[in-house]
Chains A and B, each alone.
Chain A
Amino acid sequence: MELHPAGVTVEHLDMEFVARGRRQKVLEDIDLQIAPGEFFVIVGPSGCGKTTFLRILQGLAKPTGGRASIGGRTVTGPGIDRGFVFQNDALYPWRTVTRNVVFGLELQGKKKGEAAARAQAMIELVGLKGFESHYPHELSGGMRQRVNLARALAIEPAILLMDEPFAALDALTRESMQRELLRIAAVAGTTIVFITHQIDEAILLGDRVAVFSPRPGRLREIIAVDLPRPRQADVKQSAAFQHYVGRIGQLIGQA
């Protein structure tokens, strides 16, 4: 895949919601920079606004203050330079695996043959060869998330936004999906912003881990994870890994 990963700049980002007549601050004064090609993980307790942050990057939500730009352009709405991997797979149940993966290309009006070829490459990349004509209900949760990922990758995004994609999976499947994502990220070379509430997942995957505080979400600290790549699951046993776990756990636990 020939991708041109984009960087992210976020400046003084604020987000407020009005719910039942009460204003609620969800994100407050977020400032951060993500380098092109970086695997950036945001970790924080539920309700810290991390999903909202991702939706702002995707252009699905408008910030009430500050701005976010991707590849130098201010985000004003969804763009084909970004691929979004939804938390629950959100596949189209009436489309087969191939037709789901091809969806984004179809909307762009890509030629059928070209789109099909690229979809096939993505299906093979995520390890679903042989399942092309299956419907989502015939797949396991892990396989559906693979389709979800392939669908986002098929449009060759400069940045991939992943919203707790493995949260709904069982522990074993989640571990194998983490391995897969590390492999795919290395091949795809795209910038990834990944959200999770699991500390070990954040450290295993990320080049840097940003810790958000709960309500209103503020950026507490960004920790560079200095662990060699390619990373295997056994890195979790290392002292360095445990050190990061303790550090991030402490940051999240702070009142």
Chain B
Amino acid sequence: MAKVKDSILTRAAAKLAPISQETALEQDRPVTLLAPSTDADAAERPGFALRWRAWRRPLTTLVILLVGWELIGRYVLTNPLFFAPLSQVALSAIELWRTGELQTHIWVSFSELVEGVAVAIIFGVAAGVGIGISQRTREYVEVYITALYATPLVAVTPLLILWLGIGVVSKAAVVFLTAVFPILINTASGVRATDAQLIEVAQSFCATRRQIITKVMLPASVPFMLTGIRLGIGRGIVGVVVGELFGARAGLGYLIFTAGQTFDVPALFVGILTLAIMGVGLTLAAELVERRALRWRRPVSMD
């Protein structure tokens, strides 16, 4: 904690103009959160330095891990049936990319994920709002929803493949089933957690039931929905892979499965790494959307 000067938070804080929570009352000029930069040149470089500082440590870890992988593959686990050094994995990736095979697998898995999550969002949000606003509906279904949420629904994958075939649809269905419950449950909690006084304000302005739902409960539960969606995406990726392991013609799970069957360890790692990158990318994208949608929230910080 001694090196406070180094912290990116301090840097970021320095860019903030004094907000003057208390004194602002008596001022008639607008208070801006971000002070306009006076020096264009100075504004450019600290931005880069800031980003570099933020990424420096995680990148160091990454380099160490990758070098360690290469060394272990070359000198420790030398049996090609069990492990492959990073360089061979990279070569395998280039080869798979050159033949176009890798792109196909990525595209198939990606569309299964997106389709399943999209339907899960539409259905989960709608049903979550319905369950959140109606005590009676809740009494009918809440226990079973909780039970389904706790059940590892990837277990029904073989059934879905029997019903829907080994194409994209059955896997999208698996993604839907795994992703829908966190979205639904979080939306319902968000609706129920709406500040009673905010509802009362709307009532005192003569809001209709419908207006209370659309103008108060829905926006109030957006943070919950977004959390649910982020959890849903994470579970959905698991759903894609498990679905493809059970039966598929293409996809990253299929690539991993066939590579395992043929002892092609480098290709197996290509599949795993691609999935990891895809997961990180989607999570980052979801966080970005969250940050943009929730600009109205007071930032919480313990620093």
Contact = CB atoms under 8 A, between A and B. Distances in A.
B20 to A, nearest CB: 8
A139 interface: yes
A84 B204 contact: yes
A129 B27 CA distance: 10
Nearest to B205: A104
B203 interface: yes
B206 A80 contact: yes
A107 B205 contact: yes
B205 A103 contact: yes
Interface stretch (B52-60, B215-223, B252-260): B215-223
Interface in A133-155: 134-140, 142-143, 155
Given A107-B215, A138-B19, A60 B204 contact: yes
A143 B206 contact: no
Contacts of B28: 127, 129-130
B298 A131 contact: no
Given A93-B296, A93-B297, A138 B198 contact: no
B292 interface: no
Contacts of A92: 198, 201, 216, 219
Interface in A80-116: 80, 82, 84, 86, 88, 90, 92-96, 103-104, 106-108
Contacts of B207: 107
Interface stretch (B29-37, B162-170, B177-185, B279-287): B29-37
B13 to A, nearest CB: 16
A107 B200 contact: no
A147 B26 CA distance: 15
A58 interface: yes
B211 A107 contact: yes
> Which interface class (under 10, 10 to 19, 20 to 34, 35 or more) fits B?
20 to 34
A176 interface: yes
A131 B31 contact: yes
> Which interface class (under 10, 10 to 19, 20 to 34, 35 or more) fits A?
35 or more
Interface string B60-73: 00000000000000
Contacts of A90: 195, 197-198, 200-201
B31 A176 contact: no
A36 interface: no
A134 B31 contact: yes
A74 to B, nearest CB: 16
B22 interface: yes
Given A137-B298, A140-B22, A140-B24, A88 B197 contact: yes
A73 to B, nearest CB: 14
Nearest to A59: B204
Contacts of A108: 206
A96 B296 CA distance: 8
A76 interface: no
B25 A176 contact: yes
Nearest to A177: B25
Interface in B270-297: 295-297
B222 A94 contact: yes
B30 A130 contact: yes
Contacts of B201: 84, 86, 90, 92, 103
B21 interface: yes
A60 B200 contact: yes
Contacts of A95: 296
Contacts of B29: 130
B31 A58 contact: no
A140 B206 contact: no
A71 interface: no
Contacts of A129: 28
B24 to A, nearest CB: 5
B145 interface: no
A107 B222 CA distance: 20
A138 B24 CA distance: 10
Nearest to A95: B296
A127 B220 CA distance: 28
A86 B296 contact: no
A103 B29 CA distance: 24
Given A79-B206, A135-B295, A140-B25, 20 more contacts: A78-B204, A80-B206, A84-B201, A86-B200, A90-B197, A90-B200, A92-B198, A93-B296, A93-B297, A96-B296, A103-B215, A106-B215, A107-B205, A108-B206, A135-B296, A136-B296, A138-B19, A138-B31, A140-B24, A143-B24
Top 6 closest pairs, chain A to chain B, by CB = A130-B30, A137-B298, A104-B205, A142-B25, A94-B296, A84-B204
Interface of B: 19, 21-26, 28-31, 33, 195, 197-198, 200-208, 211, 215-216, 219-220, 222, 295-298
Interface of A: 58-60, 78-80, 82, 84, 86, 88, 90, 92-96, 103-104, 106-108, 127, 129-131, 134-140, 142-143, 155, 173, 176
10 contacts: A58-B204, A60-B204, A84-B201, A90-B198, A92-B219, A94-B219, A94-B222, A107-B207, A107-B208, A138-B33
